[in-house]
Structure 1
Amino acid sequence: MSEITPYTLDVPQRDLDDLAARLDRVRWPDEPPGSGWERGVPRARMKELVDHWRTGFDWRAQEARINKFPQFTTEIDGADVHFFHVRSPEPDALPLIVTHGWPSASADFLDMLGPLTDPRAHGGDPADAFHVVVPSLPGFTLSGPTRDTGWNVARIARAWAELMDRLGYRRYGVQGGDWGWPVSLGLAGIAQDRVVGVHTNYLPSPPGDTEGLTQDDLERLARQKEYVSAPAGYWVMQSTRPQTIAYSLADSPAGQLAWIADRVTAWTDPAIGVDDDRLLTTVTLYWLTGTAGSSSRLHHEAAGSRGGLPACPVPLGVAVSPHDLVRPVRRLAEAYHDVVHWTEFDRGGHLPALEVPELLTADVRAFFRLVR
């Protein structure tokens, strides 16, 4: 089946009433005196977030914000794939597929859709326009729980190639961060004749000769080694026991909130952070779609994969945020990939679409000017 169906997000009121009732009955754990973030999300912060979710957060306003942009669903390889598809008014716009990560959602990119598709209306150059496709990863939020196993990075990349074919795009750009990084490189590998370039806002350094590297380069490599050798608790749990943690997250909205808020807080620039309403929009999407478990399975599938990613077979653009999980070393990246564009942001972390959308938008435009 290759039918593409228009989609409008319209959550039944009974689901929102159920969420409110559960938030009214949160069973709070104890907390050692003087505890801070070193043990996880502090109870005071959780109570603040839960109270806002219950009494101040307007889901219907966020739903309307999401529905301002054209959305569709289609079945690919047995999975129901949701995606935004916003066409530019500019006739020569370049198609661009953008991939989110975890614990993110396609809605993270809403602030970028207007500037990317219609730069003329946002003070930019119409020559930088894109037709933008932002799918939800299979098993994540609006792409619903997947119905089978095996949804690893390679399978998602094949699904994205099929999606762009169905939309009639024969030449396009690719962008992504977090899981969007390996998916984007994988897509370029299987659709090399169609992908004009890949832009990523996350890129681990490949192995290589370290002689002559700067002190900053060596510190970047040390941080990457530390991150890989001692992964965060969420990664260990989701890559080894995704079904076990899924019961807690699917049954408790406070649990789902804490699981995501912990990572968002740790991964963002402390001077910027993420607005609570943006955070709660993401959490609510995971909660309402019941995708805590199916989104976790991607970590499990990745842990069982063999081999690393090949070199990017098309021109690569890299944006580096100062507060990201790891920061790549340019010389090592250039020895492995065809890097034609490199930007070091002066602010931001692992979620630039939410933290610094204007910087990410400008950098995507700058890179694709080189390869259109």
Structure 2
Amino acid sequence: MSLTPEDREPFRIAVPDEELADLRHRLRHTRWSDPIGGAGWRYGTDPGYLRELVEYWAETFDWRGEERRLNAFPHFRSVADGLRVHYIHQRADGGGLPVLVLHGWPGSFVQMLDLLPLLAAPAEHGGAPADAFDVVVGSLPGFGFSEAPREPGLTETRMARVFHDVMTRVLGYERYAVRGSDFGASVAEALAVHYPEAVVGIHLSGTTPRASDPPADPSPAVRRYLEDVERWRASEVGYGAIQATKPQTLAASLTDSPAGLASWIVEKFRRWSDCDGDVERRFTKDRLLTNISVYWFTRTIGSSMRLYGESDYRPGAERDVPTAHLMSAKDMFPTPREWVERFSRVDRWTAVERGGHFLEWEEPRLVAEDMRAFFRALR
């Protein structure tokens, strides 16, 4: 099937100079709240670290340099299911298994860029040429450079329709694999449910505070998990409650204040990653700010948060697609295999002791190696 320019439009990131000037002006004129002496991160983002990050963003961070680095990848946008969706499409030399790679919140396509060459060119990174993938890194609708619907209904099922259209009609793949974490994992599962004839297999990471219908006599591992979920809900899920119920209220301030946006996002990268409380053990300021800047320049923090309230994810939905789980004990909390098996097919289970919720960014080689091993038999 031949493609028209409208089907697969090359795309370059090009933030106007006036947008950069406006960002720096806002950063330099931030109105700061009063700190609580000695509190650090106890009540949320540490004000001292936030001041340091904001000053770096205003005076040192080189967006143009990051823009050039991002534009070294082959970016495209296509209209799929009525939405203009952004993705990177990196073909393997000599061809490979097509794989769609999907992020979650508060990540973006940039968290997948260290993983991409390990999949597309494995021979250059200690792998076998036969394990190469044609890689499609998608921006979820409503995130970054992908359009959000103006009407309600920004669900994982809608996102699955969008990306299935991209993978099949636009890119011409009859069958493809999917890798996802966080909300990206939910979309991967929706693809497996609705398009099993096209999805070769799905590779998932990320734990969630799901504790419905616990067994009457849980094992010690499941009991620990349920206790962890209760502790997490008591101390950590306030952000999710407001994003699920009042995203527009929150979006007004985060779309207007870059310092507020940075505060909202960086706290999650510190809390959810394997960094022992020091976010820069895992992510440099440049990496953090590249991701935050994508949200800022595209004004998509509001649309990204909508998924918390509009999600139609259904754990346990029937699917006949091979499924791998790469699970880290350093994610939000350890999740035992026997719990996951209550609501998900498990064909491969790999437990690791490093890397947190942003596993593709924290441990890209680990993710790539597990993906190669799982999909090798499914090619």
The answer to whether residue 325 in structure 2 is matched with residue 322 in structure 1 is no
Q: 4+ residue stretches of structure 1 with deviation over 3 A?
A: 203-212, 225-231, 305-309, 334-338
Calculate percent identity across the aligned residue pairs: 39
Match for residue 309 of structure 2?
300
Q: 1:284 to 1:69 in 2, by over 3 A?
A: same
- 2:272 is the alignment partner of 1:267: yes
State the distance in 1 between where 2:138 and 2:203 align.
16
Partner residue in 2 for 1:117: 120
Q: Deviations over 1:151-202 (max 9, x none)?
A: 1111111111111112111111111000011110000111101111110012
> Quick check: 2:175–2:199 contact (8 Å CA) kept in 1?
yes
Give a deviation string over 1:131-169, Cα, whole Å, max 9, x none.
Answer: 011111111111144333211111111111111112111
Structure 1 window deviating more from structure 2 (336-345 vs 40-49): it is 336-345
Q: Report the AA paired with residue 120 of structure 2.
A: T
- Tell me which residue corresponds to 1:192: 196
Q: Contact 2:28–2:55 (CA<8 Å) still a contact in 1?
A: no
Match of 1:126 among 125, 129, 132: 129
Contact 1:320–1:344, Cα closer than 8 Å, also in 2:
yes
Distance 1:306 1:317 in 2: 18
Question: SS of the counterpart of 1:142?
Answer: coil
Aligned ranges 1:211-250 → 2 under 5 Å: 211=217, 213=219, 215-227=220-232, 232-250=237-255
The change in CA–CA distance for 1:370 and 1:74 in structure 2 (over 3 A counts) is same
SS in 2 for 1:243: helix
Q: Does structure 1 residue 57 correspond to structure 2 residue 61?
A: yes
For residue 311 of structure 1, report the CA deviation from its aligned partner.
4.2
Structure 1 residue 210: Cα displacement: 6.7
| Matched residue SS, 1:57 | coil
Q: Is the 8 A contact 2:101 2:137 kept in 1?
A: yes
Asked if 1:362 corresponds to 2:366, the answer is no
Write out aligned runs for 1:164-175 (5 A): 164-165=167-168, 166-175=170-179
Count of residues paired in the alignment? 368
Q: Is the CA contact (8 Å cut-off) linking 1:182 and 1:309 kept in structure 2? A: no
- Structure 1 gap segments, 5+ residues each: none
Residue 90 of structure 2: aligned partner: 86
Q: Distance in 1 between matches of 2:218 and 2:105?
A: 35
Partner of 1:349: 356
User: Which position in structure 1 is the counterpart of 2:290?
Assistant: 281
**Alignment correspondent of 1:254:** 259
Contact preservation (8 Å) 1:80, 1:143? yes
The verdict on how the C-alpha distance between 1:357 and 1:148 changes in structure 2, with shifts beyond 3 A counting, is same
- Measured in 2, the distance between the counterparts of 1:186 and 1:84 equals 21
Shift of 1:363: 1.3
Give, as a single letter, the amino acid of the residue that structure 1 aligns with 2:239: Y
Q: What letter corresponds to residue 153 of structure 2 in structure 1?
A: G
How far, CA to CA, are the matches of 1:172 and 1:333 in structure 2? 24
Taking the aligned partners of 2:331 and 2:207, their CA distance within structure 1 comes to 10
Distance change in 2, residues 1:311/1:332 (3 Å): farther
Q: TM-score, normalised to structure 2's length?
A: 0.91
After superposition, the CA RMSD in angstroms is: 2.0
> Match of 1:31?
35
Give the Å deviation of 1:212.
Answer: 6.9
For the Cα contact (< 8 Å) 1:7–1:72, is it kept in 2? yes
Give the whole-Å Cα distance in 1 for the aligned partners of 2:241 and 2:215. Answer: 30
1:273 is displaced (CA, Å) by: 2.8
